[in-house]
Amino acid sequence: MFDLSEQDLEQPADRLGKKGYWPVRAGKYLAEHKYSRAVEICREFLDETPNLISGRLIYAQALYHTGQSDRATEQFHRVLSIDPENLVALKYLGDIKFAAGDEVTALSNYQRVLEIDPGCHGLWSPLKKKSEETTRTMTLHRISETATGDRGKTLRKIPFYTETMGDLYLSQGHARLASRVFRSLIKKNSNPRLEEKLVKAEQQINTKES
């Protein structure tokens, strides 16, 4: 047997934090949902290290979670100016655009994430669009495919299975496509919210066919 010292047991991030690497402290506050404190630390040090991606990314996320979407957007774009394929920045920008009702730009960001990392499993957004009086229409142009056993109807090929995609299909009246997305997600990770959306999609299908 052999003994490990406390220093040996420390995580790399902890060691960096003790050496004064400020993104570790800011990231800790971000993880603890102390977003205002994370913002303060980032503002204090980013002027000295403006191209430090880890710090600016934490700053952008903290701004986002404090409801400062415009400022967060600016910071995420600064991250992308240094690292054009930063998945976190692309994902958050997609969420911001989706919440603002710009589904086209949101999908463009999500699609870019999948182009960079086809196996990405984190492309999920809990956001709900703000209610508006105006109605927007977006058409998703995809290659058609025939779905067997679906009453002879032709369904579009679904580009990727995410809750956001299911929400978009449902809002456009594509209930069958939405139900396919939600069913697939429920098989992987069932939860009441997804099941409720699946029920809503199936109700729309039944209403159209009755």
Give the pLDDT of residue 52. Answer: 92
pLDDT digits (tens, 9 = 90+) for 118-131: 776 665 545 444 44
Band of the pLDDT at 2, cuts 50, 70, 90? Answer: very low
pLDDT digits (tens, 9 = 90+) for 58-80: 999 999 999 999 999 999 999 99
Residue 40 has pLDDT above 60, yes or no: yes
Low-confidence winner among 71-75, 140-144, 185-189 (lowest mean pLDDT)? 140-144
Rounded distance, CA 21 to CA 210, Å?
A: 63
Amino acid identity for residue 191 in this structure: N
Looking at per-residue confidence, does 72 or 169 come out higher?
72
CB atoms inside a 10 Å sphere around CB 134: 5
b/e code 82-118 from CB counts within 10 Å (16+ = b): eeeebbbbbbbbbbbbbebebbeebbebbebbbeeee
Angle of helix 163-171 relative to helix 192-209, nearest 10 degrees?
A: 30
Amino acid identity for residue 108 in this structure: S
91-114: average pLDDT: 89
Give the pLDDT of residue 42. Answer: 95
Rounded distance, CA 56 to CA 92, Å?
A: 13
Rounded distance, CA 51 to CA 81, Å?
A: 10
Average pLDDT, the chain: 77
Residue 53 has pLDDT above 80, yes or no: yes
Q: What homologous superfamily does CATH list for 15-116?
A: Tetratricopeptide repeat domain (1.25.40.10)
Assigned token pair, 11: 């995580």
Q: Where in the chain is the domain with CATH 1.25.40.10?
A: 15-116
Give the pLDDT of residue 132. Answer: 44
191-198: average pLDDT: 86
CA angle 55, 56, 58 (to 5 degrees): 65
Residue 16 has pLDDT above 50, yes or no: no
Contacting residues for 187 by C-beta, under 8 A, at least 6 apart: none
Looking at per-residue confidence, does 168 or 90 come out higher?
90
b/e code 137-152 from CB counts within 10 Å (16+ = b): eeebeeeeeebeeeee
SS3 146: strand
Residue 152 has pLDDT above 70, yes or no: no
